[in-house]
Amino acid sequence: MSTLLQPAFTHRGDLISRLAGDGHYDIAIVGGGATGLGVALDAAARGFRVVLVESHDFAKGTSSRSTKLVHGGVRYLAQGNISLVREALRERSTLLDNAPHLAQALAFVVPSYQWWEAPFYGIGLKMYDALAGRASLGATEFLSRDETLGLLPMAQPRGLKAGIKYWDGQFNDARLALALARTAAARGALLLNYCRAADLFYDAGKVAGLVCEDVLTGQPYRIHSPCVVNAAGVWVDELRQKDGAANSGASTRPVQPMVAPSQGVHLVVDREFLGGDAALMVPKTADGRVLFAVPWLGKLILGTTDTPRHDLAREPLPFKQEVDFILSESARYLQQAPVRADVKSVWVGLRPLVKAQGDDGDGTKDLSREHTIVVSRSGLITVTGGKWTTYRAMAEDVLGVCQERSLLIAKKGGATAHLKLIGAGAPGMAVRAICQAPGLHSYGDEQALVMSLPGADRVLTDGLTEAMVRFAARYEYAICVEDVLARRSRLLFLDARLASSLAAQVGEILLQETGLDPQVGVFLELAQQYLRLPA
Ligand SMILES: Cc1cc2nc3c(=O)[nH]c(=O)nc-3n(C[C@H](O)[C@H](O)[C@H](O)COP(=O)(O)OP(=O)(O)OC[C@H]3O[C@@H](n4cnc5c(N)ncnc54)[C@H](O)[C@@H]3O)c2cc1C
């Protein structure tokens, strides 16, 4: 099934007018990350009236800060979590089919420096491949030393014995989030960024809708919906606790938080530190973690970490030991070790891991990475956990629960299994473009539309034109410079200094398009944070 839908304009005034209109929906979703957007798309594809509100920008939370892997999770296989791996492998293949411009196969190489590593990891990876079945992206292969260096030209040759190649996927997370939003909008859903869910309201003790606030003006709006889905990522407990306080009845027990955030840091360096088109995977670092070096949009992502955190910062800072860990481990596997001065951008994401009640959330590697859905006494549905790769399956589960609880009428599932996302229609989509420097390839079959806008020939930097900024404002909900440079183009994540240098020009174009303050100063400050490593 193809979308073949005309992209909708995302003019702020029009979106707000719709929000201020009738205000009755079948389902209202809080949070515009992978989880909420997945639910919005599935519900819209089933024909429900859908509204989604996002307090910041789509994917501003965890969903723009992933390692960019569409994967079954080799690590979960090692933990024996077969069903999680199998589901993720199936979803991997669905995602690669439905968004080929944003998610593609990538070869991963595990270099082995001990004689036992290649057979040991090779057997596990063969099993990974077997579990994928028809969804396999290519056979796992044992490599000689020379073959390993052929794929990873800058890997440390000293002591290298052999290697294993296996296949997984990689993607452009924030642009995938936008594609989900825009595909849902093309099917009638109303989605708003910069619109915060402030409170819920009730009818006879049951959720009847939510009050949201246009963050740009402070104006509140009431959304009537018997079905409210809280998909606020690591921030889900805020609404759960408000809901609990409003409906505690005779019970005085406060609602316990369900999320134990765990922080993951990524460092971005020049692609030449690894060379080639394959990613490097270290299954077990000196302290037992997994480390990736992934070529992405012309750079190399190194990461990640898994550090418990007790706050829920919007822009969490990396800890010194996390940066040191990534650099020192990378140094063991690369010929030329990247040093602090080589880092072009550092970014941090919070995993919404779900903890058992009474667990204080330390030791996050052992917490559940599967998603959890809970239904409160008042009927508020909360979903969190899981991973980007499985967002579609999570959405089906959420709608299943909504229907079981009679919050939604029953409509057949599977609506998104073959639903191509906006931009996916171009035949012969460039293979493996996501490794390559940013450019028109991210727009899939919308390239001609981008090229038709004013400023298509005005290059702001490689891979970013004036027309792309206009496209972001007209069709992709962009309001401020950060929306463009962090999540429509990914420059903030790739090279924060370069992104800073473009802020004023991008701001001018946005102002012409939207008439709204593009927040150049706020962006410049943020970009400093993405450049600064803790001393
Ligand atoms: C370091 C790291 C690496 C990862 N790597 C991978 C990977 O390679 N592959 C993979 O598959 N998965 C990966 N994951 C997991 C994946 O990124 C997350 O599971 C997923 O992004 C979570 O999406 P979400 O929508 O639940 O949360 P979020 O993306 O955080 O979205 C929640 C949204 O809710 C909004 N919100 C909060 N409160 C309100 C409110 N009151 N009103 C309105 N909106 C609100 C927030 O602004 C936010 O945008 C990784 C995670 C981390 C942390």
Q: How far is the CA of 57 from the centre of ligand 1 (A)?
A: 12
| pLDDT over threshold 60, residue 430 | no
Q: Is 304 in the pocket of ligand 1 (CB under 6 A)?
A: yes
pLDDT per residue over 255-287, tens digit each? 899 999 999 999 999 999 999 999 999 999 887
pLDDT recorded at residue 355: 78
Ligand 1 atom closest to residue 351's alpha carbon, by position in its atom list = 53
Centroid of chain to Cα 455:
29
Give pLDDT tens digits for 323-366: 999 999 999 999 999 999 999 999 999 999 887 754 444 445 44
Ligand 1 pocket test, pick from 388, 390, 482, 483 with the greatest ligand atom count within 8 Å of Cβ, gives: 388
CB distance 225 to ligand 1 below 6 Å: no
Reference 288, options 3, 75, 77, 487; nearest CA is: 75
* Burial zone of 512 (CB within 10 Å; 0-12 exposed, 13-18 middle, 19+ buried): middle
Buried b / exposed e over 224-252, threshold 16 CB at 10 Å, is: ebbbbbbbbbbbbbebbebbbebbeeeee
Q: From the CA of 58, give the closest atom in ligand 1.
A: 49
Ligand 1 pocket member 489 (CB < 6 A): no
For 466-477, how does the pLDDT look when each residue is reduced to its tens digit (9 = 90+)?
999 999 999 999
pLDDT per residue as tens digits for the range 198-247 = 999 999 999 999 999 999 999 999 999 999 999 999 999 999 999 999 88
- Whether the predicted model's global pTM rises above the 0.85 cut: yes
Using a 6 Å cutoff on CB, does residue 33 contact ligand 1?
Answer: yes
Task: Tell me the pLDDT band of 254, cut-offs 50, 70 and 90.
Answer: confident
Indicate if ligand 1 lies below 6 Å from the C-beta of 67. Answer: yes
CA–CA–CA angle 352, 497, 460 (5° rounding): 105
Q: Is any atom of ligand 1 closer than 6 Å to the C-beta of 318?
A: no
Own/partner pairs, 412-417, CB within 8 angstroms, 24+ separation: 412/46, 413/42, 413/46, 415/42, 415/45, 415/46, 416/38, 416/41, 416/42, 416/45, 416/98, 416/392, 417/94, 417/392
The confidence score (pLDDT) of residue 253 equals: 74
Q: How far is the CA of 256 from the centre of ligand 1 (A)?
A: 20
Q: Is 232 in the pocket of ligand 1 (CB under 6 A)?
A: yes
| Short-list 108, 87, 182, CA closest to 390 | 87
**Residue found by looking up tokens 């009236």 in the block:** 49
Query: What is d(CA 302, CA 532) in angstroms, rounded to the nearest whole number?
Result: 16
Determine the pLDDT at residue 287: 78
Q: In terms of Cα–Cα distance, which of 152, 168, 172, 170 is closest to 160?
A: 152
